[in-house]
């Protein structure tokens, strides 16, 4: 079982190499067929591993794709740059208010809960009010414009 943690910043080619190595290691063990399953970004990675070279990795018996993120340019997130450019062209007080109004729905769509976006596994030991404050502070430090507005 392989997974990419949310805070992993390994580049795409290195991820492909890790997956190929894992497939070949498992295939060399010879115990069972090896299938590559990927969901969302993992589906894109699985496709790249299976079809990215001149031939699939040695020992790969098949690929299973679950909701692969293959239509990124048609996703709602791909529509954000033109929207944010338009908002940026508004007079400053209006653009600031608009950015603030857009922030919560965007974060909600990304994470389901804006505080999860700023949360870390190590925060779990903190009491809930402090955990939320730490997550919010982390978000604000990463978003200077939003920090100016609050």
Tens of pLDDT, residue by residue over 81-109, are 788 888 888 888 888 888 878 877 776 66
pTM of the complete model: 0.48
| Model confidence at 127: pLDDT above 60 | yes
SS (H, E, C) the chain: CCCCCCCCCCCHHHHHHHHHHHHHHHHHHCCCCEEEEEEEHHHHHHHHHHHCCCCCCCCEEEEEEEEECCCHHHCHHHHHHHHHHHHHCCCHHHHHHHHHHHHHHHHHHHHCCHHHHHCCHHHHHCCHHHHHHHHHHHHHHHCHHHHHHC
More confident of the two residues 120 and 107:
120
What's the mean pLDDT in 41-56? 86
Per-residue pLDDT, 101: 81
2-21: average pLDDT: 86
């Amino acid at each position: 079982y392989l997974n990419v943690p949310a805070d992993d910043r390994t580049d795409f080619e290195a991820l492909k190499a890790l997956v190929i190595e894992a497939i070949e290691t498992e295939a060399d063990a010879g115990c069972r067929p090896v299938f590559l399953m990927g969901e969302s970004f993992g589906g894109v990675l699985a496709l790249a591993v299976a079809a990215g070279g001149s031939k699939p990795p040695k020992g790969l018996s098949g690929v299973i794709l679950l909701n692969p993120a293959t239509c990124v340019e048609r996703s709602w997130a791909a529509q954000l740059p033109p929207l944010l450019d338009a908002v940026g062209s508004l007079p400053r007080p209006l653009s600031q208010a608009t950015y603030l109004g857009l922030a919560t729905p965007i974060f909600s769509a990304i994470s389901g809960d804006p505080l999860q976006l700023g949360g870390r596994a190590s925060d779990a030991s903190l009491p809930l009010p402090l955990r939320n404050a730490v997550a919010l502070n982390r978000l604000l430090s990463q978003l200077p414009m939003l920090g100016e507005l609050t």
